[in-house]
């Protein structure tokens, strides 16, 4: 079964924490939900700053619509501050 792909809108303090928690608990989420999850894509304002974070296996974009309009993304999480 395909993993549930998650797209994040925002990768600040809360967004980074969300990625960390979801990845750290991926095995437990799989056990409870019966399906794996994959944090696949994040939309951010400052691409160089986000790339410098070094988060592996995460596609980055500056266009939130890239995530919202992507049919492979099952869940969109809005984490934009401001």
60-64, 70-74, 78-82, range with the lowest pLDDT: 78-82
Domain layout of the chain by residue ranges: 4-78
Whole-angstrom CA distances from 53 to 1, 12, 29, 31, 77 are 31, 10, 25, 29, 19
The domain made up of 4-78 has a fold known as: Rossmann fold (3.40.50)
pLDDT of 33-68, one tens digit each?
Answer: 999 999 999 999 999 988 888 899 999 999 999 999
Pairing of strands 37-43, 75-78: unpaired
Cβ–Cβ under 8 Å, residues 6 and 40: yes
Whole-angstrom CA distances from 7 to 18, 35, 57, 82 are 11, 17, 12, 19
Pairing of strands 37-43, 59-61: parallel
């Amino acid at each position: 079964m395909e993993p549930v792909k998650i797209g994040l809108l925002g990768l600040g303090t809360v967004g980074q924490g969300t990625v960390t928690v979801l990845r750290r608990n991926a095995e437990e989420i799989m056990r409870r939900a019966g399906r794996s999850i994959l944090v696949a894509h994040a939309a951010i304002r400052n691409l160089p700053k986000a790339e410098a974070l070094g988060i592996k296996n995460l596609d980055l974009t500056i266009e939130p619509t890239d995530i919202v309009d992507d049919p492979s993304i099952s869940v969109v999480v809005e984490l934009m501050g401001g």
